[in-house]
Amino acid sequence: MPSLISNGISIAYETAGDPKAMPVLLVMGLGMQLTAWPADFVDGLVDLDYYVIRFDNRDSGLSTKFKQAGTPSLPLVFLKSRLHLPVRSAYRLDDMADDALGVLNTLGVAKAHVAGLSMGGMIAQILTARHPERILSLTSLMSSSGRRGLPGPTRQARAALMARPPHGADPERMLGHLANMLRVVGSPAYPTPEKQLRAAVAAALLRNSCPAGMVRQLVAIIASSDRCALLRSIERPTLVIHGAADPLVPVAAGIDTARLVPGARLEVIEGMGHDLPGQLIERLLALIDTHTRGKMAPDIFPRLFEKQ
């Protein structure tokens, strides 16, 4: 796996497709590696004539880990956040956006479409707002504006996210822990077969496992300010995609994001949770391709869903 130096740290990356094709930068979410983008999704973008760039965020995958920062206490971090007290973090989302920009710089990509998932959507929002001259369009998937007061995860999703990873080096227990987390936040109408889910987790664990890095990323999200003002400043065509059944980042967060970005288009998918189920890959590819090619008219008022 190739790596590059971005923002002073090592970032692992992978590209697919013709470098002369239209570039699209994919930014993954909390604790996930570049390999979490489904192969069918990446291959589909290549077939649609895109040059696909993926990378491991700092503190995940094969990129630099901030081990010297230790593992923060999440209960203490959440308490400080509720009390509106400053939260210390090893880095912030702004730093992660600078990492993403550095990937484009090192690869010699002058302009690119950017699509980010969950935390990756937050990073993509910052990148688009602060460097509009480098971004052609933004697709924010299952992400949020970070506004205080938005609904949080369901009780079950929060419990899965907060559950302590098993101690020791038993790979089977860690596999079960992570598979349960993905199962809980997944799409109820489009479930991933258990065998496929566990195989994906096993492959991810074989590549890298850094639970402490995931905690540091979560603290970076909490420590970063809301992006409401930043979202209002975005000038690039924006598509917001969100699952109506998302238990981790409820759909209200996607609606709020779309309302804040001028002219943003909102697409709410019934039965979709906080994942990219295989049954929806073709639909997602069609939405993104239509958006990036400028064929999707922006909504003056983002289209909302009716069913819960």
* Three-class secondary structure assignment of the chain: CCEEEECCEEEEEEEECCCCCEEEEEECCCCCCHHHCCHHHHHHHHHCCEEEEEECCCCCCCCCCCHHHCCCCHHHHHHHHHCCCCCCCCCCHHHHHHHHHHHHHHHCCCCEEEEEECHHHHHHHHHHHHCCCCEEEEEEECCCCCCCCCCCCCHHHHHHHHCCCCCCCCHHHHHHHHHHHHHHHCCCCCCCCHHHHHHHHHHHHHHCCCHHHHHHHHHHHHHCCCCHHHHHCCCCCEEEEEECCCCCCCHHHHHHHHHHCCCCEEEEECCCCCCCCHHHHHHHHHHHHHHHCCCCCCCCCCCCCCCC
Q: Which domain holds residue 286?
A: 3-292
pLDDT at 169: 61
| 307 is a domain residue | no
| 80 is a domain residue | yes
| 140 is a domain residue | yes
| 305 is a domain residue | no
| 302 is a domain residue | no
| 106 is a domain residue | yes
Tally of domains in the chain = 1
Which residues are paired to 140 by β-bridges?
A: 116, 240
pLDDT at 40: 98
- In this prediction the pTM is 0.94
| 83 is a domain residue | yes
pLDDT at 114: 99
pLDDT at 306: 35
Percent of the chain with pLDDT over 90: 83
Mean pLDDT by 10 residues, the chain (308 residues): 94 97 98 97 98 98 96 89 89 98 97 98 99 98 96 92 74 88 95 94 93 94 93 97 98 97 96 97 97 76 39
pLDDT at 168: 64
CATH number of the domain residue 18 falls in: 3.40.50.1820
